Chains A and B, each alone.
Chain A
């Protein structure tokens, strides 16, 4: 299959507009975006400086708050995967009619204010759960859903789930084997990128954690911020850039692998553009 596909794969094929149609227009937009997004980063780094960065690790509370956030991220990740992967795969295969409903439900956390949600959660949950730190992980699963679902959905759309499951089924594999040994390996990129998005969100979530009175890493940064703003800010910018680089690395490596086997470009939330649709 790779042999058939060698030539067209490199060409970005028939997009609505080809290169050169709107060069100035595109440059202006990208330039404005670059200035808007990079200038504040530059200003903050210049103001904070990286020199004091090392001392953040020795501050009181750094280790315990970061450890708490890491644990929360791990639990959030585990619940999200257990809940979302089987559901998304199943809906793709057997209940495609529900995909739109699932899309609408998973988008809800973007518009529901975390501050409203935590008000309700703190009133309705049983005391045992309310006093536990894991309540946060449970709610973070809800908060990460829009991103996790979209990454998984993109991963599923970029592979031929139907053919893969039918092939594996006709070789005698059951549901679990198909999921574990056929689908999941094919969704590696989607799983990895949703993992990173989950970790990024949990390590940065402030609203719920502070209102739930848990000293997670972002909450600690704010407390610490009052003593030494510069260090904590350079730490968070550092975290942002590291997350970004990780996501870049994943998509670049995945695209390289995909190209090698005759596939297309791998992106974070959207399946590779498929020019053949509808033609």
Chain B
């Protein structure tokens, strides 16, 4: 809708020949100095991230290899963290994250596509409602969220009652709000909005011209998606899935509130260590569990970056 000359901001648009740049006091300095100064402006931001995000993570890696009493190198923390109940915790966490990322991923994509392609009078309004709601709901969690679902899907709650009134007792079908299936259902409450927010820029990158070109060449809707839209969108979709997976893995407050810590998830087990419920000599096992999380996240982020790079070929 920006067909006025002053708001067109096509990426990579070149500056007109007459445009003036800022007169930098360093314009006569050697090129290397100027390059250094150019990058210096992002140093505060990078330093902040390094100090308050990366250094704590590195510290965890270090501590997970230390014996808490003698401060010497040991494998025992890692050894404990990958066996028994902690191994089970990782398995459950990964399974939960898989369920709570693939389903919201697909559904979020559909919602996003639905609001993006909606036309007509209410379309702008619909987009506003969905996007602002997504911004708010993506940050919703913890006790309030748990309560929402206890009030609706608890064993004798509103929706459960309705469903059993029509002969569908979900608790007899193996569903329980306080197990993995229930937690996954609750997680979708913030995962779907997150997906909507993250995938929308990719949808905006699908150019109408491609669709028109495909239609002019006689393509059906299916073959457009099979050969053009799908392949272009797939890397973005997968990169968003990586983030959703990580977000589900990272969630703590909601599962804690819902199950009061009885569900074996790694994030909850780490929380137990922080709350001080620790066997003597195992103080650093919490760090080893956190290290396990960091390793999984590192793999996710590498996949994310690779998918992003792939999607950058076509989008934006």
Return chain B residues, CB-CB under 8 Å to A18: 117, 119
B33 proximal to A (CB < 8 A): no
Residue among B135, B293, B301 with the highest chain A CB neighbour number at 10 A: B135
List the B residue with the shortest CB-CB distance to A210.
B253
Taking CB atoms, residues of chain B closer than 8 Å to A102 are 42, 45
Cross-chain contact B41 with A87 (CB below 8 angstroms): yes
Q: Confirm or deny: B267 has a beta carbon within 8 angstroms of a beta carbon on chain A.
A: yes
* Cα A180 to Cα B99 with chains together (Å): 46
A273 within 8 A of B: yes
What mask results when residues 108 to 152 of chain A are scored 1 for a CB within 8 Å of chain B, else 0? 111111111111111111000000000000110110000100100
Q: Are A169 and B1 in contact (CB under 8 A)?
A: no
Do B257 and A279 touch (CB < 8 A)? no
Interface residue? A19 (CB, 8 A): yes
Q: Which of A15, A44, A162 contacts B15 (CB 8 A)?
A: A162
Number of A-B residue pairs having CB atoms within 8 Å of each other in the complex: 359
B117 touches A204 (CB 8 A): no
**B42 and A111 contacting across the interface, CB-CB below 8 Å:** no
- Are the CB atoms of A270 and B204 closer together than 8 Å? yes
**Residue A272 is within 8 A (CB to CB) of chain B in the complex:** yes
Quote the shortest CB–CB distance from A272 to chain B (angstroms).
6
The interface bits of chain A over 199-210 (1 if a CB of B lies within 8 angstroms of the residue's CB, else 0) are 011001011001
| Chain B, 1-43, CB within 8 A of any chain A CB | 1-11, 13, 15, 19-22, 38-39, 41-42
Expressed in whole angstroms, the Cα–Cα distance for A147 and B142 within the complex equals 19
Cross-interface CB contact of A16 among B46, B157, B206, B243, cutoff 8 Å = B206
In the assembled complex, the Cα of A18 lies from the Cα of B208 at a distance in Å of: 11
**B: contact size bracket:** 35 or more
Closest B residue to A269 by CB, please name it: B197
Which of B42, B126, B157, B274 contacts A119, CB < 8 Å? B274
What is the chain B residue whose CB lies nearest that of A174?
B22
Q: How far is the CB of B169 from chain A (nearest CB, A)?
A: 18
Contact between B119 and A113 (Cβ–Cβ < 8 Å)?
no
Does B286 contact A16, Cβ atoms closer than 8 Å? no
* A193 pairs with B116, CB closer than 8 A: no
Cβ–Cβ contact B305 & A113, under 8 A? no
A277 to B111: give the CA distance in the assembly, Å. 24
- B: residues with CB less than 8 A from A are 1-11, 13, 15, 19-22, 38-39, 41-42, 44-46, 48-49, 52-53, 55-60, 63, 107, 110-111, 114-120, 123-124, 126-129, 131-144, 147-149, 151-153, 157-159, 188-189, 192, 194, 197, 200-201, 204, 206-209, 211-212, 229, 242-243, 245-247, 249-253, 257, 267, 270-271, 273-275, 286-287, 290, 293-294, 297, 300-301, 304-305, 308, 312
Identify 7 residue pairs between A and B in the complex whose beta-carbon atoms are under 8 Å apart, listed by A's number.
A39-B152, A83-B44, A111-B301, A112-B297, A218-B143, A252-B128, A255-B124
The 6 closest A-B pairs by CB, nearest first: A120-B56, A111-B246, A19-B119, A43-B152, A264-B1, A236-B144
Interfacial residues, chain A to chain B (CB-CB below 8 A): 1-2, 4-5, 8-9, 11-22, 25-26, 29-30, 32-33, 36-37, 39-44, 46-48, 83-84, 86-87, 90-91, 94-95, 98, 100, 102-105, 107-125, 138-139, 141-142, 147, 150, 157-163, 165-166, 169-170, 174-175, 193, 196-197, 200-201, 204, 206-207, 210-211, 218, 221-222, 225, 229, 232-233, 236-237, 240, 243-244, 247-248, 251-252, 255, 262-265, 267-279
